[in-house]
Chains A and B, each alone.
Chain A
Amino acid sequence: MRVEEALVCLSCVVGGALAANAPRPRGVSLDFAKYYKDTTTFSCISNPAIQLPFARVNDDYCDCPDGSDEPGTSACAHLSPLSPPSPAGAAANVALALPGFYCKNKGHIPAYLPFTNVNDGICDYELCCDGSEEWAGVGGVKCEDRCKEIGKEWKKHDEARQKSLGIAARKRKELVTEAARIRQEVQDRVQTLKTEIEGTELKVKQLEAEVKDVERRERGKVVKTAPGQKGGKMSVLVGLAKSRMAELHQSLTRVRRERDDYSSRLQELENLLMIFKAEYNPNFNDEGVKRAVRAWEEYAARDKEPLVNVAADIDLDEILKSDKDSGLDWDEYEGGEDSETDALYTFENYLPPSIRSWLDQKLRDLRIRLIEAGFLADNSGASTESKALSDARAQLEKAQQDLENHREDLETRNEELASKDFGPDDVFRALKGTCVSTDSGEYTYEVCFLQQTTQKPKKGGGHTNMGNFVRLETIDVDEELPANGKGLGSGRRLVMRHEGGQHCWNGPDRSSSVILACAEENEIWKIMEEEKCVYRLEVGTPAVCDEGGSGSGRANDASAKDEL
């Protein structure tokens, strides 16, 4: 029964008490009272053909095949598919006709208690706050009526819960709004991107044309010089050498960094193994461990070159000093490159500047015509390009890259808009990347919505990925709800599935399920390692609340009480 019904029932009890004067037999709720009206004969509820003297109702002997003659005792508690079969049960209907022993719980919410719990010597106050189920005083037990205090307490909690649910629902609204805004943002961005793509496409076209043009012009040059450079073969050579050196320098630095990286990682691993060897459990049982240790011992025993050859490293330091420090000043070579001999052959230099440029232009035009006609070989493309050309190309490449990026961006955004599941109302869009964490045992656990779950040792050390978000799912849960409402309750719940986390010693890759229930704040309630490296986290978040503040997003107290 859900809370609504239970509340209805509460009123029934009140109303019923006024209306009905014949007392109901022990354990019978108003819903079933009609079957117990006749006080001379009782007909089993599911098998009305079986009739008993009314004295056999609640006489602590199970007569009816459906147990309906014992609403107030445990005599028929064995009628259950969970009990071993019996000849009596095999023929008849073993399903109990009654949901349980009815506790009136005056001052609180009435509830049904499993018949197995009637007169077992335990006060089941969680369901039966009035203690009415222990009427026989088995083993001397006395269960006083605690409904007043329990009801009061429950009410207090319930109010707090309702209030909290209200807040949570509002928060969810905000989240949905935020999600919509983000979605709008994405959509806007999509529009922008489309426009930008169009623009970029145009630009790319223009630039392509320009590059062609520059290329055409460049072909005319015999020797290209970068603008601002005085130019000359030596200069080109020096330029090349310099850039080559810079490249080598860069590469060497990178390689060395990588090497240092690797050697420190190797060192770390060797240290780990050393500790492993010293501290491992020499349990003969674990052949894998033993072999690993043996292999390590062999490895460790091998004569090894030191990881870094110190002398060679000093050389490297030398090499990596800036060129100036090594006595190599590129500027010297670049600056004074215009050698006199060279100039002698460059007769243009002796002409007045105006004629020089005219002549130059003419010669170039001629040269281009000759090349285009196939009389002269094109010596431009093979070696280096002029600054003008490479600039033009760079611009084109950049434009092309931009275009590519925009297109990709557009695609992912479109895809995201069209198919990615952000949950009902897109609500998780607003939470993506939001992280919550909590301490449990020796670890801190972190859940980042739609990203991953992580385990962080409190004592320090590396973090462990417990799985990356793969999808949203739903499962049915049925849990008790603690008084503070921080629990899953029962019903259908959203789950964030995380898979492919760090691999587990002797086990699978870690994975985790984050089961969500409505709460005022994003918070982790409970972490369980359900089985080796398979985690279950119970997390509260306003994102899964219902607008109304109750219902499918979470359980409510009464439904937990009534579940039977």
Chain B
Amino acid sequence: MSRGHIPSFTWANIFHLCTILCMLITPAVMVKHENFKTCEQSGFCKRNRAYADTALSTSNWNSPYTLDPASIKFNKGVLTGTVLKKLATSDENVRLPLTITFHEAGTARVTVDEERRQKGDIELRHDSKARKERYNEAEKWAIVGGTAVSTGAALSKDADQGTTRVLFGQGSKFEAIVRHAPFGIDFKREGETQIQFNDRGLMNFEHWRAKVEKPEVAAAEGSEENQTEDTAVKTDSGEDESTWWEESFGGNTDSKPRGPEAVALDINFPGYGHVYGAAEHTGPLSLKETRGGDGKYSEPYRLYNSDVFEYELDSPMTLYGSIPFVQAHKKDSSVGVFWLNAAETWIDITKSTSTANPLSLGIGNKVTTQTHWFSESGLLDAFVFLGPTPQDVIGSYAELTGFTELPQHFAIAYHQCRWNYVTDEDVKDVDRKFDKHRIPYDVIWLDIEYTDGKKYFTWDPMNFPDPIGMQKQLDQRERKLVGIIDPHIKNEGGYSIVDEMKSKDLAVKNKEGTIFEGWCWPGSSHWIDCFSPKGREWWKSLFRYDKFKGAAKNMFIWNDMNEPSVFNGPETTMPKDNLHYDNWEHRDVHNINGMTFHQATHDALLARDKDEDKHNVRPFVLTRAFFSGSQRLGAMWTGDNQASWGHLEASIPMLLSMGISGYPFAGADVGGFFGNPDKELLTRWYQAGAFYPFMRAHAHIDTRRREPYLAGEPYTQIIAQAIRLRYSLLPAWYTAFHEASTTGAPILRPNYYVHPGDEKGFAIDDQFYLGSYGLLAKPVTKEGEKGQEMYLADKEKYYDYFDYWMYEGPSTVKVAADLDTIPFLMRGGHIIPRRDRPRRSSGLMKFDPLTLVVVLGNSGDAEGTLYLDDGESFDYKDGAYIHRRFHYQGSTSTLMSEDLGVSGKRTKEYLKTMEKVRVEKIVVVGAPDAWRGKTEVEVSEEQGGKSSAARQVELEYHEREAGKAAWAVVRDPGVQVGAGWKIAF
């Protein structure tokens, strides 16, 4: 509210006075560390680090957890048993039911619960209404498939003494060795240990216990903040009890009615030197060690979805979303672990180097990556993926948590956003200007100011008097509008949405069980509780066209602030003792909260069109907060970045990290949200942004306008080229999205993913491949840079995308990169589909012909795929799509188009609409010398299942010259994109 676009006279006055009142303030563009907890300030984090320190510094440390051998049962791929936790102070053991599930897909899941809490046999403090069980519904939100229990998994008879051995996975090449005392599990692949649970004995399961009131503790209760070692209270067992009960931070006190209840486990990856994932953080793709030292972090990676203002780079600090999934990688082997827990989670990472195994001959040191996970509450629930390829791991994870929904075609084109386009006329004006400057764009966005006083589902009557007219103008060029809808609902009398939400009792509650009130953009607000099925149903109803007046069919939604961001809450979010549907504490579900809202909006958009007129288009919802599974619901972006070179640079590893975390539909604000980028930075950012799976320019309300056409020459022209490059490659992008939507494969692929055997490339995170196309980009992210060193991992030819300059791997090559150039190479062996005709929006390219670029490398063969559909509906599920594989065979010099599709009831109808869409041009890069003098190729098409008579089509051959490859062009082969054909060169 204070940032209204045209501050009134009164506000200006206040500002003057404020200036006087706080003259000594120097605004610093920097994260406010004091607003976020360090590990030391987070009770359970501190306790678990201390636990680890004790364990690791104690010789003969004995983990107090044992698996009762008598309790072990194995039935149909599920092993159950009871883990006993031995207490120092009593003879009684805490009983922790264990389930190890082996899935058909080759994954294993280890779940540990607490018996007493399962039975509800505990007492809550402060008369709390919270549930007594440990939160066991995370899977309801995160897991959607891949849980078919393995029929082949079996107990092995030849287990060592004191262990239980289970063989599982395809061909039983995986095994789990469950050690009884102390409890631990080794996961092996083909006899080699890949992952170890509790090998270092850091497992910690904080069981429920009643608070023993002691005078000194009671006294300390009032002033919990900053309890130091001095006031720390040790229990009889020697445990530090100071952080067990109420905890305060930043003026907020967490009542913690269940006391301490963290779960922790150490997970080792023996022999693995790199771990990736644990998104979302700003650091390098290959995660750093976190226990101090040169070039290492001293804080653990934190996962606690937060609205971090002006976040810093190269930091393990938490950000807006959490994916508690890591992959470890070593030469030719990838494995992974998914820690399914929605509570605040921290991960410590260390690497230990052991000298070479004396039995192995002359092999160097072996690095083991040790991870230590701890979550504040909930189950200990971990999934194990044994690879061996990066895609195996990511694919299995994605099968569990869901694939990215194939987006509408517009969603992968260019988005123009700003906080804010201030009036409907402003929007229309920007829309016209893009056309006028011949720069394509598909979507224009409205930030919070379009609403009437930050009341979602309303329009500012002064500034947006005619939203429908505005959307109509956009629709004339098949463009879309995205409007923001956040989860905070303004607490204002007479606002029907809040009135309904209150009367239907659908809001998040505070610890007393009454409606929670906090502050966000609108001021005093309540929060929709999307954990509630009724809440989601209601939310769905709000998007109906008759309810959300002024929204047209080409309007889609942006969900922001769904961490949730609560301006006056602890760490800018909700108090952990807030209560959600079914009385789950916010603590238990925090990291999922954003996803439930995203899900509700996604489903609402589905319902909107289905209810209305069976319109049945795919939803588009952008989210800021996310969790494992959010990828099913739409795009994410990396939040409020800054217009600085550092943020541009950081965006690439961040997006790579999202890609390998099963969430490929990711982007960073092009241009940087805060601050004004200079023109070079803006231009370079567009060149990088052209490779973001989600490409959106965005800017803060206090920044100068920076639509591409305002940059002036030569910048505008260079930016236009970058955007047009994106558009011409949209067939490749769309195909890559299709692949992601069916296999979970990342769209931007880091070097290790593409070349899993190339150890030198495992840490590379500033260059990437686009889809399966061998397109290798390394956008310039440094000021004044005129060239890029590009790493070519394999023995293969690479060609400059724009001028066919030839490079040969393996090597590091220098690629020139003046401001107007993007370092962008094509790897030999691929076929890239393009649509080269520039249009005003991607919707207008639907029926344009395609160009195929055949890139010949060392093998002389090449292949690539193309997926096309109507770009908006779900008809593809009924076969309304084209999916082709193009294959060039060097030995026979033929290029063929094969069908990868499966016919459905709408196939024929769709192919009919695409009948006239042809391949207009085939460019062969690295054309063989033998073609010199060749002027014709022979084209034959499949017609009615038969090959037509061959016809001759012109071939134009270009000699190689000065470092550039020879290339040839097949002139207008005229073959249908949707049909089979063959071209003989």
Interface residues of chain A, those whose CB is within 8 Å of chain B, are 59-61, 63, 74-75, 77-78, 80-88, 90, 114, 116-117, 120-122, 136, 138-139, 269, 272-273, 276, 279-289, 291-292, 295-296, 299, 440-443, 455, 457, 461-464, 478, 480, 502-507, 526, 528-532, 534
Provide the bound-state CA to CA distance between A292 and B14, in Å: 10
Contact partner of A281 (CB less than 8 A), chosen from B7, B439, B521, is B521
Specify which of B8, B21, B568 lies most central, judged by the most chain A CB atoms within 10 Å of its CB: B8
- A84/B17 contact (C-beta < 8 A), A284-B32, A505-B11 known: no
Contact partner of A116 (CB less than 8 A), chosen from B8, B839, B972, is B839
Contact assessment for B803 and A87 in the assembled complex, using a CB-CB cutoff below 8 Å: yes
Provide the bound-state CA to CA distance between A81 and B716, in Å: 11
Which residues from chain A contact B839 at a C-beta distance below 8 Å? Answer: 116, 120
Provide the bound-state CA to CA distance between A81 and B717, in Å: 7
Which residues from chain B contact A272 at a C-beta distance below 8 Å? Answer: 10, 13-14, 17
How many interface contacts (CB-CB < 8 Å) are there between A and B? 196
Provide the bound-state CA to CA distance between A296 and B460, in Å: 32
Contact assessment for A528 and B429 in the assembled complex, using a CB-CB cutoff below 8 Å: yes
Which residues from chain B contact A478 at a C-beta distance below 8 Å? Answer: 436
Contact assessment for B837 and A75 in the assembled complex, using a CB-CB cutoff below 8 Å: yes
Contact assessment for B8 and A462 in the assembled complex, using a CB-CB cutoff below 8 Å: yes
- A61/B22 contact (C-beta < 8 A), A531-B703, A532-B701 known: no
Which residues from chain A contact B25 at a C-beta distance below 8 Å? Answer: 287-288, 291
- A285/B309 contact (C-beta < 8 A), A462-B8, A526-B425 known: yes
Contact assessment for A295 and B21 in the assembled complex, using a CB-CB cutoff below 8 Å: yes
Contact partner of B9 (CB less than 8 A), chosen from A273, A464, A526, is A464
Q: A61-B972, A75-B837, A272-B14 are in contact. List 15 more A-B contacts (CB 8 A).
A: A81-B717, A82-B717, A83-B721, A84-B722, A87-B802, A120-B844, A122-B476, A269-B17, A273-B17, A285-B567, A292-B17, A295-B21, A506-B702, A507-B702, A534-B704
Provide the bound-state CA to CA distance between A168 and B848, in Å: 48
Contact partner of B838 (CB less than 8 A), chosen from A116, A279, A457, A462, is A116
Which residues from chain B contact A505 at a C-beta distance below 8 Å? Answer: 2-3, 7, 11-12, 15
Provide the bound-state CA to CA distance between A162 and B802, in Å: 51
Provide the bound-state CA to CA distance between A90 and B804, in Å: 11
Contact assessment for B35 and A284 in the assembled complex, using a CB-CB cutoff below 8 Å: yes
Provide 18 A-B residue pairs closer than 8 Å at the C-beta atoms, listed in order of the A residue. A75-B920, A78-B838, A83-B838, A114-B438, A117-B840, A139-B846, A280-B2, A281-B519, A284-B32, A284-B567, A285-B567, A287-B25, A288-B18, A291-B21, A462-B10, A503-B16, A504-B12, A505-B15
> Closest CB-CB distance, B686 to chain A, in whole Å?
12
Q: Does B6 contact A (CB under 8 A)?
A: yes
> Closest CB-CB distance, A88 to chain B, in whole Å?
8
Contact assessment for B22 and A532 in the assembled complex, using a CB-CB cutoff below 8 Å: no
- A284/B1 contact (C-beta < 8 A), A292-B22, A443-B6 known: no
Which residues from chain B contact A529 at a C-beta distance below 8 Å? Answer: 5-6, 422
Which residues from chain A contact B848 at a C-beta distance below 8 Å? Answer: 74
> Closest CB-CB distance, B704 to chain A, in whole Å?
4
Contact assessment for A90 and B8 in the assembled complex, using a CB-CB cutoff below 8 Å: no
Which residues from chain A contact B439 at a C-beta distance below 8 Å? Answer: 82
Contact assessment for B12 and A503 in the assembled complex, using a CB-CB cutoff below 8 Å: yes
- A61/B971 contact (C-beta < 8 A), A281-B2, A505-B11, A532-B702 known: yes
Interface residues of chain B, those whose CB is within 8 Å of chain A, are 1-3, 5-18, 21-22, 25, 27, 32, 35, 309, 422-423, 425-426, 429, 432, 436, 438-439, 460, 462-463, 476-478, 519, 521, 523, 567-568, 572, 701-705, 717, 720-722, 724-725, 728, 802-804, 820, 836-840, 844-849, 913, 916, 920-921, 958, 964, 967, 969, 971-972
Contact assessment for A78 and B836 in the assembled complex, using a CB-CB cutoff below 8 Å: yes
- A461/B844 contact (C-beta < 8 A), A282-B567, A441-B463 known: no
Contact assessment for B704 and A531 in the assembled complex, using a CB-CB cutoff below 8 Å: yes
> Closest CB-CB distance, A432 to chain B, in whole Å?
25
> Closest CB-CB distance, B525 to chain A, in whole Å?
11
Which residues from chain B contact A86 at a C-beta distance below 8 Å? Answer: 802
Contact assessment for A296 and B702 in the assembled complex, using a CB-CB cutoff below 8 Å: no
Specify which of A284, A285, A503, A528 lies most central, judged by the most chain B CB atoms within 10 Å of its CB: A284
Provide the bound-state CA to CA distance between A122 and B476, in Å: 8
> Closest CB-CB distance, B104 to chain A, in whole Å?
44
Provide the bound-state CA to CA distance between A276 and B7, in Å: 13
Provide the bound-state CA to CA distance between A410 and B844, in Å: 67
- A506/B3 contact (C-beta < 8 A), A122-B477, A285-B309, A530-B705 known: yes
Contact assessment for A84 and B724 in the assembled complex, using a CB-CB cutoff below 8 Å: yes
Provide the bound-state CA to CA distance between A441 and B463, in Å: 5
Closest residue of B by beta carbon distance from A443? B6
Closest residue of B by beta carbon distance from A276? B14
Provide the bound-state CA to CA distance between A88 and B6, in Å: 50
Contact assessment for B309 and A288 in the assembled complex, using a CB-CB cutoff below 8 Å: no
Provide the bound-state CA to CA distance between A279 and B971, in Å: 68
> Closest CB-CB distance, A262 to chain B, in whole Å?
14
Contact partner of A139 (CB less than 8 A), chosen from B9, B436, B725, B847, is B847
Give the top 8 A-B pairs by smallest Cβ distance, nearest first. Answer: A462-B9, A292-B18, A82-B720, A441-B462, A120-B844, A531-B704, A285-B309, A283-B567
Specify which of B9, B16, B971 lies most central, judged by the most chain A CB atoms within 10 Å of its CB: B9
Closest residue of A by beta carbon distance from B1? A281
Provide the bound-state CA to CA distance between A291 and B425, in Å: 37
Contact partner of A87 (CB less than 8 A), chosen from B15, B523, B703, B958, is B958
Contact partner of B840 (CB less than 8 A), chosen from A85, A90, A116, A530, is A116
Which residues from chain A contact B18 at a C-beta distance below 8 Å? Answer: 288-289, 292
Which residues from chain A contact B32 at a C-beta distance below 8 Å? Answer: 284-285, 287
Contact assessment for A139 and B12 in the assembled complex, using a CB-CB cutoff below 8 Å: no
Closest residue of A by beta carbon distance from B820? A85
Contact assessment for A532 and B721 in the assembled complex, using a CB-CB cutoff below 8 Å: no
Specify which of A84, A288, A289, A502 lies most central, judged by the most chain B CB atoms within 10 Å of its CB: A84
Provide the bound-state CA to CA distance between A83 and B723, in Å: 9
Which residues from chain A contact B519 at a C-beta distance below 8 Å? Answer: 281-283
Provide the bound-state CA to CA distance between A258 and B519, in Å: 41
Closest residue of B by beta carbon distance from A294? B22
Closest residue of A by beta carbon distance from B802? A85
Closest residue of A by beta carbon distance from B965? A87
> Closest CB-CB distance, A455 to chain B, in whole Å?
7
Closest residue of A by beta carbon distance from B722? A84
Which residues from chain A contact B958 at a C-beta distance below 8 Å? Answer: 87
> Closest CB-CB distance, A72 to chain B, in whole Å?
14
Provide the bound-state CA to CA distance between A534 and B710, in Å: 15
Contact assessment for A116 and B5 in the assembled complex, using a CB-CB cutoff below 8 Å: no
Which residues from chain B contact A81 at a C-beta distance below 8 Å? Answer: 717
Closest residue of A by beta carbon distance from B845? A120
Which residues from chain B contact A60 at a C-beta distance below 8 Å? Answer: 849, 920, 972
> Closest CB-CB distance, A457 to chain B, in whole Å?
5
Provide the bound-state CA to CA distance between A120 and B841, in Å: 10
> Closest CB-CB distance, A68 to chain B, in whole Å?
17
Contact assessment for A463 and B9 in the assembled complex, using a CB-CB cutoff below 8 Å: yes
Contact assessment for B21 and A296 in the assembled complex, using a CB-CB cutoff below 8 Å: yes
Contact assessment for A504 and B35 in the assembled complex, using a CB-CB cutoff below 8 Å: no
Provide the bound-state CA to CA distance between A83 and B847, in Å: 20
> Closest CB-CB distance, A546 to chain B, in whole Å?
25
Provide the bound-state CA to CA distance between A469 and B426, in Å: 25
Contact assessment for A464 and B844 in the assembled complex, using a CB-CB cutoff below 8 Å: no
- A295/B567 contact (C-beta < 8 A), A82-B717, A139-B846, A505-B7 known: no
Which residues from chain B contact A117 at a C-beta distance below 8 Å? Answer: 840
> Closest CB-CB distance, A232 to chain B, in whole Å?
57
Contact assessment for B8 and A461 in the assembled complex, using a CB-CB cutoff below 8 Å: yes
- A139/B913 contact (C-beta < 8 A), A85-B803, A505-B15 known: yes
Which residues from chain B contact A285 at a C-beta distance below 8 Å? Answer: 32, 309, 567, 572
Closest residue of A by beta carbon distance from B804? A87
- A279/B9 contact (C-beta < 8 A), A120-B844, A480-B432 known: no
Which residues from chain A contact B11 at a C-beta distance below 8 Å? Answer: 505
Which residues from chain B contact A121 at a C-beta distance below 8 Å? Answer: 844, 846-847
Which residues from chain A contact B523 at a C-beta distance below 8 Å? Answer: 279, 281
Which residues from chain B contact A74 at a C-beta distance below 8 Å? Answer: 837, 848
Contact assessment for B728 and A84 in the assembled complex, using a CB-CB cutoff below 8 Å: yes
